[in-house]
Amino acid sequence: MLFFAIVVTFIASIIFTPIVRRFAFRIGALDKPNYRKVHTTIMPRIGGLAIFGAFLVGYLILLPEDSHSLGILVGAVIIILTGFLDDMLEITAKAKVVGQLAAAVVVVTWGGLQIEFINLPFGGQLEFGFLSIPITILWIISITNVINLIDGLDGLAAGVSTIALISLAIMAIIMGNPFVIATAAILAASSFGFLFYNFYPAKIFMGDTGALFLGYMISVLALLGFKNVAIISLIIPVLMLGVPISDTFFAIVRRIRMKQKISAPDKSHLHHCLLKSGFSHRQSVLIIYGIAALFGLAAILFSQATVWGSIILLVVIVLALELFVEAIGLAGANYRPLLNLVRMIGR
């Protein structure tokens, strides 16, 4: 039944996307080029409606049971409306945060999804108590936005999200969580179908409608799969989203170093750095897909390792990521502490 739902969802996404594209032109939901954007032509940008619609088709076929499901769906509708309003009217950042906060509050209070405690690696528990609600809300809003921030090249956010969702589904199989397996799988099928129209050269963008929806769903599914587990295991969803999280983190580092506002826009994100390094649009996207897949594989290996093995693997990942960041100038052209140290040792 799951395979059937995945296939139908994929086909629905392929059918819905051109319909949504025509609808976007009709209502004026268009993304116009500017100095910060890579595309040079006017593009329809509410493709997230097709992703959401196809996801609902698959969801209605399976009707996966979980105590959190109704709250998750209501929160998803709020997120979709928030993204759609932004794609249509370009609402303020504060208004977008209000919509995201509303969705997070719904899934936490009505849906009952909270990180209540974590098991410490060497024994004992860390209870969050009254902090469990704000911590959960902060996680949902943060991950919702990191997917949105990486949506800078044709097919980038959709592809990275699909890879993260496949990784989540595999981890859910390992951990025996049927709801996360089903939901992540049909959402991955919906996002993958959309890629047929969104990969370079794109015919439609997912817009905030799609990026916020995918970010929200990934954040919630990650919590469902890994809440109330060992502290080491909480790193797994972070690894799965290693590309957008690290891109966001080093953007903050870069802006602090340049004495800019953290929210200040620039053209130094991961995809911009790859383009500046001489890679084509398509090559840059495929390279980031490869990095995202490596992060997903690392997360799966991480989950099967011992505590000390996990720590060693994490150190290797952090060092490799730092070297890559310094090599492409993601944190700034002159930010090369580790490379400089390696050169000093080499001398």
Give yes or no for a contact between 39 and 31, defined as CB atoms under 8 angstroms apart: yes
Helices 48-62 and 2-27: crossing angle in degrees, nearest 10, is 150
Helices 307-328 and 281-304: crossing angle in degrees, nearest 10, is 160
Give dist(CA 273, CA 161) in Å, integer: 20
Give yes or no for a contact between 144 and 219, defined as CB atoms under 8 angstroms apart: yes
The CA radius of gyration of the chain, in Å to the nearest whole number, is 20
Residue 44 β-bridge partners: 30
Q: Is 148 annotated as a binding residue?
A: yes
Q: Which of 140, 303, 295 is nearest to 230 (CA)?
A: 303
The CA distances from residue 249 to 89, 176, 246, 292, 328, in Å, are: 28, 32, 5, 16, 15
Give dist(CA 184, CA 220) in Å, integer: 10
Give dist(CA 311, CA 148) in Å, integer: 30
Q: Compute φ and ψ for 125, nearest 5 degrees.
A: -130, 150
If one counts every other C-beta atom within 10 angstroms of the C-beta of residue 62, the result is 20
Residue 230 β-bridge partners: 119
Q: Is 208 annotated as a binding residue?
A: yes
List the end-to-end C-alpha distance of the chain, in Å, as a whole number.
Answer: 61
Q: Length of the chain, please?
A: 347
Q: Is 127 helix (H, G, I), strand (E, B) or coil?
A: strand
Looking at residue 108, what DSSP letter applies? I
> Residue 58 is inside which H or E element, if any?
helix 48-62
Q: Which of 184, 167, 124 is nearest to 303 (CA)?
A: 167
Binding annotation: 148, 208
Binding site for Mg(2+): what residues are annotated? 148, 208
